[in-house]
Every structure is written in C-alpha cells, then in structure tokens.
Amino acid sequence: MSKRLLVALVSLLVLVLVAGCGKTGGDENSEVKYPEKPISFVVPWSAGGGSDRMARMVADVVQAEGIMPQPLVVVNKPGGSAAVGMNEVATKKGDPYTIIGIVSAQISNPLTTGAEVKASTFKPIAALALDEYMLLAKADSDFQSLGDIVEYAKKNPGKLTVGGTGTGAEDQICLGLLQKAAGIKTEYVPFDSGGEVMSSLLGGHIQLAWANPSEAASQLNAGMVKALGIMAPERIDAFPDVLTFKEQGVDAEFRQIRAISGSPDMPDYAVNALADVFRKVSESERWQKEYIEKNGLTSQYMGPDEFAQAINDAEKEYEEILTDLGQIK
C-alpha cells in the first residue's frame, strides 16, 4: 500500500470517528433540544380549583417570561378524587411531554382506597408552594379561641361538628392532628367542595370548618367568619392576627404541598430541565406577587430529590393519622 493511500485511509477514519462523536444517543440529543413540542400539564381536578389555578399561573409565567421555548398546555381530567387524571398519566410511562399537578390529597386518598396509582407512582420534579389551613367559625359563634373549642369538645365528646372537603383528605387529616394533640373527639362532616363547606358553616349546619386562606379570604374580610387558629409553624402575612395552633397550646401543624411530577419513569434529562424551569418560575416576581402573596401561600421550592423525600415522609405520616381515624383498616 502506498504511503499516500495510507494517509488517505487514516484521514478518512479520523473523519468517521469525529462524525460519530458528533452524534449523540436519543436521550442526550433530546437533552440538547428538549422540549421540542408543547408539554401537557394534567390537572386531575376541576377547572377553577386550587390545583387548576396553580397550573395556569405556572403556564402563564413560563410563557410570559420566556422561561421555556415550548408552552405548557393545561388539561383538566377531574373525577374519582383525582384518580381519573392520575390513572391516565400513569399510562404515559417514560413520556417526557406529560406532567401532572400533585397536592397532598393525592398522597392520602390512595391510602384509604387502596388504589395502585399513588403520588409516588410518578417521577417527582418540583414542589412550589405550601398551603396553610385555618379553622373557622361563624362570626357570631361563641367560640373565641382554640382553647374554647378544646374545652367544649372535652365536655361534649363527639358532638362538635367540623366540616371539610372529602374523606381521608387534607381537612380530615388536620382534624385528626388536632384531636390527637388536644386529646379530644369530634364529628367530621365531609363535603364535595370548599364552597359547600363554607355554605354549611354560614348556614349554621356545622360549628367549625377547615379552609385554606385563599378559600376563606372574602368571608373573613367581610366579617362573616372568624379564624380561630392556623395550623402553620408561624403566622402568615395575609392574616397576621390569626394565632397558630402552637401559640394556643396545641402542638399540631399541617401544610398542603402544591407540586408537579412527571410521567412514571420520565427521563432524567426532562426531569432536570423542568425542575430548572419551575425553579425560575418560583423565583419570578410575578409568581410571588400574583400567586403566593395573593393566595396567602408559603413559597417553598423543592427539587426532585427533596420533593421525593417529602412524598415518602407524607405517606408514612398520613397512614398513621388515617389509621387512627379509622379510614385505613
């Protein structure tokens, strides 16, 4: 073989190797270009609710501030206390273009129903906020403090009526924590929505009710109801005069998580890219002003690992509480 031909062959081999190195595998190539099309953001609850409002605000901030080259398309899939939407997303295994909103009820509900699809079924991406819980009474109620409630409940075991949304969900978990910490028994009255809970309280059909600050803001500001305590580690800016449970001698604390997960086994490149997108959303001024402050929430960003741990911890805590309440046999 001539020297010139040998050089040519070597040069050709080098070009082939360089070209090969320039190509990447499917996942790596996707990482560079992801996302290449709109991402479906499934909300397993009805339009207009807390989960829907969060998803639409996230989508608005992403698009308005150009955080991601492709939009988030919010799709409501309500039904079965989130089971319908969760089951659908569970079938999208490995799909980098399907995400789902997650709240605490999606951690607790499967524990009481025995459903196979759980919050932990999905790939954790990020948590964005924590939602506080208030215990409310009608404005003309004789109850003036958490101490009054505890005293009444101890004198009248099982007769104090407390309303909340759903069975085995956040409101009942809050009541379970209160009962355990204060050593009392009450009657929990479940409703299908926060609006029904408030109507029943105002109508005098129940004595107390659980609500998020955003759910009760208009009634509180109008003087129709009063907050007897907030189940948070500290008072919140939206209602600075409302005492925490701990300030009133009841060691009970609960905050609902508001977060986003991906389809089961979503590729890491998609998880990491979206976690960064949602971190930027949480740091934006619009998010803080128009979502966190407006709704009386606590801003709390958690990345994939921290959020995964939060789900694991919550499952254990909720299982214990719901077992005590007789919701898990």
pLDDT by residue (tens digit) across 171-209? 999 999 999 999 999 999 998 888 899 999 999 999 999
Regarding whether 242 and 142 lie in a shared domain, the answer is yes
CA–CA distance, 149 with 161 (Å, rounded to integer) = 11
- Name the residue range of residue 178's domain: 134-248
Regarding whether 221 and 160 lie in a shared domain, the answer is yes
pLDDT in tens, 58-106: 999 999 999 999 999 999 999 888 999 999 999 999 999 999 999 999 9
Regarding whether 114 and 174 lie in a shared domain, the answer is no
Question: Last residue of a domain, which of 208, 226, 248?
Answer: 248
Place of tokens 């099982």: 158
Decide if 19 is inside a domain.
no
Contact 98, 74 (CB under 8 A): no
pLDDT given for residue 11 in this prediction: 46
Regarding whether 125 and 139 lie in a shared domain, the answer is no
Handedness of CA 107, 108, 111, 114 (dihedral sign): negative
Instruction: Flag whether pLDDT at 8 surpasses 70.
Output: no
Decide if 240 is inside a domain.
yes
Cis peptide before 35 (omega within 30 of 0): yes
Regarding whether 145 and 126 lie in a shared domain, the answer is no
Place of tokens 């409002």: 53
Decide if 274 is inside a domain.
yes
Task: Give me the number of domains the chain comprises.
Answer: 2
The pTM (predicted TM-score) of the whole model is 0.83
Decide if 29 is inside a domain.
no
Regarding whether 140 and 210 lie in a shared domain, the answer is yes
pLDDT given for residue 32 in this prediction: 52
> Which two structure tokens, joined as six digits, stand for 141?
């109620």
Decide if 13 is inside a domain.
no
Regarding whether 122 and 53 lie in a shared domain, the answer is yes
Regarding whether 205 and 57 lie in a shared domain, the answer is no
Question: Last residue of a domain, which of 189, 213, 248?
Answer: 248
